[in-house]
């Protein structure tokens, strides 16, 4: 690369970083931004002048942009022109197959937050907390969430391989998943003993709140007096559905607040006219609970409407914006976070249960298999040995009369 082109690339790189670091902060913290740009320019110059080989500056700049966005939060990312084109093609094409795994990033790797019931990911044996060391032979330490989502999307019937690191297992292992057209997860409802009804929401797809409302009315007609709402491993869907579902249980109080630097603060409140269920309830949550389910769980727990039982949730309830760039690439930026009624940032802290039950830590865990520790499979009720359900039943059996909504 001759001197002219080296200088041209440096100028372009600086402009790109100025666009990202200065343009989008709208004049805020400009001193810090310009200081960072000075350091970047200095480092880039040293790379060009002293690196052992003639560097690919385009690759260096792309890597720097990926690192810049990855340092913000797991949901934000930079997509190069080629990556963005692939992202639009695969993610927006509804005919494409998927594996049914909700993912984020932890410890530098892509991590499985939850898997949808009866999905290719579940059939392959993936569980929440699994680290994906590689997808399609590519290390996940080098990719954003959006790049991973592209790799987990493909033609129906084709397969993708992932290398998995699982807690309590010494060696990584491979799984093969077949892309499939996923059906919307259905609600599982059943009348349980002693007037306790059970309802599991696997995902908050459009129309979920209406379906929940209808199920609650069915429970009431069947004589149910108490409710267990299972949100374990519920990690996908639309945040507005989580808010609308919370309104079915709360007659007063704040459900959640949305806050961001460029997003007007929005507070979502209870609406007495929308309440359907006024009787006692408990909510089951786990490390695989995320997004809309976290909003609902926090609204119930913080407003003392019912106990949340289980483990601290994953922490992802936020909003992202796709910002196309002039070169054909794009930024995916987190622009706002959802907060609990008590004012805690859900992405930063998750939702802490009011009654903690860690299935992996119970004294007789050696007697339980993985199926008994996980949320029920499609069409099945929880195992009789499910420690989280057991604790929820104990709480409800101790509740008497009507708990204020």
Residue ranges per structural domain of the chain: 3-71, 83-178, 188-318+334-397
CA atoms within 13 A on the CB side of 186: 9
Rounded Cα distance, 142 and 140, in Å: 5
If we measure between CA atoms, which residue out of 398, 363, 368, 403 comes closest to residue 386? 368
Q: Which CATH architecture has domain 188-318+334-397?
A: Alpha-Beta Complex (3.90)
Which tokens go with 359? 């299935």
Predicted confidence (pLDDT) at residue 121 exceeds the cutoff of 60:
yes
Rounded Cα distance, 229 and 319, in Å: 25
CATH number, domain 83-178: 2.30.42.10
pLDDT tens profile 122-172:
999 999 999 999 999 999 987 889 999 999 999 999 999 999 999 888 899
pLDDT tens profile 188-239:
877 777 899 999 999 999 999 999 999 999 999 999 999 999 999 999 999 9
Asked if 83-178 and 188-318+334-397 have one fold, the answer is no
Which region among 35-39, 97-101, 223-227, 257-261 has the lowest average model confidence (pLDDT)? 35-39
pTM for the whole structure:
0.83
pLDDT tens profile 31-52:
666 676 788 778 878 888 888 8
DSSP 207: T
**CA end-to-end distance (rounded Å), the chain:** 69
| 225, 195 contact by CB (below 8 A) | yes
């Amino acid at each position: 690369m001759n001197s002219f082109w080296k200088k041209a690339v440096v100028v372009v790189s600086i402009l790109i970083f100025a666009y990202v670091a200065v343009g989008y902060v709208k004049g805020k913290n400009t001193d810090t931004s310009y200081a960072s740009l000075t350091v970047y320019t200095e480092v880039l110059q040293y790379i060009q002048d002293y690196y052992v080989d003639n560097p690919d500056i385009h690759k260096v700049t792309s890597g720097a942009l990926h690192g810049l966005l990855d340092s913000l939060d797991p949901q934000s990312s930079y997509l190069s022109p080629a990556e963005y084109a692939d992202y639009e093609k695969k993610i927006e094409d509804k005919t494409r197959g998927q594996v049914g795994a909700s993912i984020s990033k932890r410890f530098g790797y892509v991590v499985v937050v939850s898997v949808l019931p009866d999905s290719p990911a579940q059939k392959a044996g993936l569980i929440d907390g699994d680290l994906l060391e590689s997808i399609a032979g590519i290390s996940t330490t080098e990719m954003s969430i959006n790049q991973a989502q592209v790799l987990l999307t493909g033609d129906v019937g084709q397969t993708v391989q992932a290398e998995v690191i699982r807690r309590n297992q010494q060696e990584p292992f491979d799984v093969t998943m077949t892309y499939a057209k996923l059906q919307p997860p259905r609600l599982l409802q059943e009348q349980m003993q002693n007037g306790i009804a059970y309802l599991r929401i696997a995902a908050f797809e459009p129309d979920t709140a209406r379906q929940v409302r209808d199920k609650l009315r069915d429970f009431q007609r069947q004589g149910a007096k108490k409710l267990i709402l299972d949100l374990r491993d519920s990690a996908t869907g639309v945040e507005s559905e989580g808010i609308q579902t919370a309104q079915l249980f709360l007659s007063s109080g704040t459900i959640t607040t949305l806050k961001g630097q460029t997003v007007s603060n929005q507070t979502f409140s209870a609406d007495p006219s929308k309440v359907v269920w006024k009787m006692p309830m408990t909510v089951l949550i786990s490390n695989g609970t995320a997004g809309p389910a976290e909003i609902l769980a926090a609204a119930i727990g913080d407003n003392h409407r019912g106990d949340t039982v289980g483990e601290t949730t994953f922490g992802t309830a936020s909003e992202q914006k796709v910002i196309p760039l002039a070169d054909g690439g794009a930024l995916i930026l987190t622009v706002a976070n959802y907060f609990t009624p008590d004012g805690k940032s859900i992405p930063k802290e998750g939702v802490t249960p009011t009654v903690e039950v860690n299935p992996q830590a119970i004294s007789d865990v050696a007697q339980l298999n993985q199926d008994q520790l996980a949320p029920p499979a499609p069409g099945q009720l929880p195992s009789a040995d499910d420690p989280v359900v057991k604790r929820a039943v104990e709480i409800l059996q101790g509740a008497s009369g009507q708990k204020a909504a």
